[in-house]
Chain A
Amino acid sequence: MDITLTQGIILAVIAIIAGFDFWLEGLYIFRPMIVCTLTGMALGDTTLGVVAGGLTELAFAGLTPAGGTQPPNPILAGVMTVVLAHTTGSNPSTAIGLALPFSFLMQYIILFYYSIFSVFMQKADKYAEEADTKGFARITILPMVIVALTYGVVVFLSAYVAQEPMKDLVNAMPKWLSHGFEIAGGILPAVGFGLLMKVMLKGKYLPYLMIGFLAASFIKFGNLLPVAVIGAAAAIYQFYNDKEKAELEKRVAESGNVGGGYEDGI
C-alpha cells in the first residue's frame, strides 16, 4: 500500500512533535514504542503500529544517549519501520532492519547539528553580556526549531517522496565523514572546559584540578560521584583550616589592638 500525501504530511507533523521531544528528552514520546503506534494510527493500521512499537522499542532499549553518545535515531527507526512494513507488506521485525539506514541518516544529521550549534554560543554570550533576555531567548530556541523542522522534512522525504534516493544517500555517505562527526563530538567539550576554567581556575586551585583529573582517569566508574567526594573532602579540609585561621587572626588582631593602643598611648 502506498503512502498518500495526507498521510505523508501527518507523519511529518508527528515527526516534528516527536523531534522536539527527542531534543529535549521531555515526555519520551520520541521512543519507538510511541512513534510506531502513532505512525500506525496515521496509516490506519494501529495494530501494526503497536506490534512494531514493541519490537522496535526492545531493539532500541540498549541504545541510549546516556553519557553523550548518540545512538541511531529512534524516531526515524519508529516511523520507517511501520511505513516499510505497511508499504512492502514485510513483517515488522524485517522492517526494523530495512529502516536502519534512515535511522543512521538522522543520527548523522543530529551529530552534525551538535557540532555546528556550538557556534550559536558566541551570540548567546553577547546577549548575556548585554543582559538582553529577548535576544538570548531567540538564539536558544532557534536550534530547537531547526531540529524539529529537519525531522519533518526528512520524514516527509523518506516516507512519501523518495524512499530509494534517501537510502542511496545514506549508503553513499563515506564512513570517515560520520566518524569525523563523532570525533569532533569527543573533542569539542575541551573548548567548553577551557571556558569554564577561564572563569573558575586560579593558580592556587590547580592542585585540585590535577587531583580530580587523576582520580577520574584511574577510578573506572561510570559516574563522577567518587571525584566529587574527593573534591568535597578537600573543600571541607580547606573550610575548617580557613575558619581556624580566621579565628586565630581575630585573636591576634585583638591582642594586637591592645598593644597598638598601648603604643598609641606612648
Chain B
Amino acid sequence: MASNATETRENQKVLTKRDITKLGLRSVLLQASFNYERMQAGGWLYAMLPFLKKIYKNDKKGLSEAMKDHLEFINTSPPLVPFLMGLILSLEESKEKRNTINGLKVALFGPLAGIGDAIFWFTILPIVAGITASFCKDGNILGPIIFFLVYLAIFLMRIFWAHTGYSLGVRAIAKIKDNSEVISKAASILGVTVIGGLIATYVHINVLASFKISPGHSISLQKDFFDHIFPNILPLGYTFLMYYFLKKKNVSPVILILVTFVMAIILSFLGVL
C-alpha cells in the first residue's frame, strides 16, 4: 500500500523543466481578460492551462474542477505571478486537496500584490524613469533604450520566478502529504482570513450624500453615520448580499454584475455615490 502510494507520486511528475520555463513566459497572459468582477482570474487560468491539461490528461472531471477553482477571483503582481503559478502548479501536479490549493492561492496573492506594487511601481519605476529621463533632455536615445532593457530584464526574470515557485512547492509537498487532511483545513483558514481582508481593501463604497439640517450645517452620511457605526460596513454588507444571492438564491453572477453596474451609474448621476 505504502509503496503503491510512492509509486503513483513518482508517476505524477509530468511537468518538465521546459514546461516551467514556458510557464514563466506564458505568465504574461495574466491580465488577458481582466475585469472588475474577478480581475485576473481568466488570464491566470489561461496561462496555466496547457500544464493543467498535461497533469489531468484524460481526467476530464479533474480538469474541470481545477479550471473552475482557478477561475475564482485573483489579483496579484504581474511581474511576480510566475512564482505563485509555479508553486500552485507543483501542488496541482501532486494532486493535493483542492482546499489546500485554493486556500494557499487566496492567501498568497494579496500579499504578493502588495510586495510587487511596492517594488515595481513605487521603487523601480520612479528610479528608472528618473535616470533615463535625464538622458532624454538632450534627445539622447540611450534614455528609452536603457528603459527598455531594464524592463526586458524584469520580464525575463519571470522564468526564474516560475522555477523558484515550482521547486519550493515540490520541496514542501512531501511535508504536506503526511498531514494532508489537517493542512487542507489550515489552508482554508488562512485563505478565508485573507478573503476578509480583501473585502475591506478591494470593495469601495463611499456615500457622498449629505443632509442639510440647518443652513451651514449638514450631516454627511458616510463620515457622520456609516463610519461611526463601523469602517467598511457597506463593502462588507454588499459582499454578503452578493454571497446570499449567489449561494442561497442561485442568481447568475451576470445579473449581479449588470445590476451593480447600472446602479453605480444611476447613483453617480443622483450624486449619492
Contacts and interface: CB of A to CB of B under 8 A. Distances in A.
B12 interface: no
A234 B191 CA distance: 11
A48 B186 CA distance: 58
Interface in B29-70: 29-39, 41-43, 45-46, 49, 53, 60-61, 63-64, 67-69
A1 B266 CA distance: 44
A211 B239 contact: no
A176 B121 contact: no
A225 B201 CA distance: 12
Contact of B264 (A27, A50, A183): A183
Nearest to A224: B110
A29 B148 contact: yes
Nearest to B252: A122
B115 interface: yes
A196 interface: yes
Contact of B78 (A25, A120, A190): A25
Contacts of B152: 27
Given A50-B136, A227-B110, A193 B239 contact: yes
Interface stretch (B85-93, B124-132, B166-174, B212-220): B124-132
A62 B38 CA distance: 26
Interface string B168-206: 000000000001011101111111111111111111111
Interface stretch (B1-9, B16-24, B138-146): B138-146
A193 B198 contact: yes
Contact of B29 (A24, A214, A215, A231): A24
Kindly name the residue among A124, A128, A192, A201 whose own CB sees the greatest number of chain B CB atoms within 10 A. A192
B107 A231 contact: yes
A187 B267 CA distance: 12
Given A122-B252, A184-B265, A212 B148 contact: no
B192 A189 contact: no
A243 B182 contact: yes
Contacts of A232: 107, 190
A125 B78 CA distance: 23
B148 A34 contact: yes
Interface string A116-155: 1111111011011111010011011111100000000000
Contacts of B117: 64, 66-67, 222
A176 B189 contact: no
Contacts of A130: 64
Contact of B194 (A25, A202, A224): A224
B141 A50 contact: yes
Interface residues on A, range: 35 or more
A59 to B, nearest CB: 10
Interface of A is mostly: helix
A223 B139 CA distance: 39
B132 A122 contact: no
Contacts of A64: 117, 121-122, 125
B36 A228 contact: no
Interface string A160-195: 000000000000000011011101111111111111
Contact of A120 (B35, B106, B235, B260): B35
A119 B201 CA distance: 23
A34 B144 contact: yes
B137 interface: yes
B225 interface: no
Contacts of A27: 148, 151-152, 155
A62 to B, nearest CB: 8
Contacts of B253: 118, 121-122, 125, 191, 194-195
Most buried by B among A118, A205, A230: A118
Contact of A242 (B185, B194, B203): B185
Nearest to A114: B36
B33 A142 contact: yes
Contacts of A142: 33
B199 A118 contact: no
A188 B200 contact: no
B177 to A, nearest CB: 14
A4 interface: no
A44 to B, nearest CB: 14
Interface in B235-252: 235-236, 238-243, 245-247, 252
B110 A228 contact: yes
Nearest to B62: A131
Given A117-B33, A120-B42, A232-B190, 14 more contacts: A33-B144, A54-B136, A67-B117, A68-B39, A115-B257, A129-B68, A133-B63, A133-B67, A136-B46, A190-B238, A209-B193, A223-B111, A223-B118, A228-B194
Q: Give the top 9 A-B pairs by smallest Cβ distance, nearest first.
A: A54-B136, A212-B196, A223-B114, A231-B193, A194-B242, A186-B204, A227-B197, A180-B268, A188-B36
16 contacts: A24-B29, A26-B28, A27-B155, A33-B144, A46-B139, A50-B141, A64-B122, A118-B35, A121-B71, A140-B29, A177-B269, A180-B269, A183-B264, A201-B195, A235-B186, A243-B179
